[in-house]
């Protein structure tokens, strides 16, 4: 995963990577739930920081978080309803690219901003 030179954000992104890499096919729903919970906490923390420091790009960033969370919920529900193939395909082939795009486009700006505020 791309480093943004912000310990806080990089920490979440490394943990995300580790969860995706360690996905257990035998307990796929449990792994997926752990990923959802981690992502909710990760995004909520970024959003709290954006508010705290009055980050101007807050809205655009928040909207992309919402889209990713909706995507995760969509595939999680699919897996819950017995359509695991689609959800497994998303975890294997879609999610990392989606996160990578978010990190490059939006988290990178936030990391620069947070560095200027003295947040590591």
99/92 Cα distance (integer angstroms) = 13
20/112 Cα distance (integer angstroms) = 26
> Which residue minimizes CB distance to Fe ion?
107
Expressed in percent and rounded to 5, the helix, strand and coil fractions of the chain are 80, 0, 20
Residue 114: CB minimum distance to Fe ion, A: 11
8 Å CB contact between 95 and 13: no
Residue span binding Fe ion (CB under 5 A) among the ranges 41-49, 73-81, 88-96, 112-120: 41-49
Q: List the one residue from 31, 39, 46, 90 that touches Fe ion (CB under 5 A).
A: 46
**Residue 107 binds Fe ion (CB under 5 A):** yes
Residue 112: CB minimum distance to Fe ion, A: 13
The pair of three-digit structure tokens given for residue 82, joined into one six-digit string: 């017995």
Residue 87: CB minimum distance to Fe ion, A: 22
């Amino acid at each position: 995963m791309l480093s943004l030179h912000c310990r806080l954000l990089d920490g979440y992104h490394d943990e995300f990577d580790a969860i995706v890499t360690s996905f257990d096919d035998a307990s796929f729903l449990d792994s997926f739930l752990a990923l959802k919970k981690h992502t909710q906490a990760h995004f909520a923390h970024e959003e709290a920081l954006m508010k705290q420091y009055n980050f101007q790009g807050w809205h655009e960033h928040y909207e992309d978080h919402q889209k990713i969370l909706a995507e995760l919920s969509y595939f999680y529900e699919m897996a819950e309803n017995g359509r695991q193939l689609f959800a497994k395909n998303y975890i294997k082939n879609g999610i990392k690219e989606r996160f990578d795009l978010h990190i490059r486009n939006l988290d990178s700006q936030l990391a620069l901003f947070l560095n200027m505020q003295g947040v590591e």
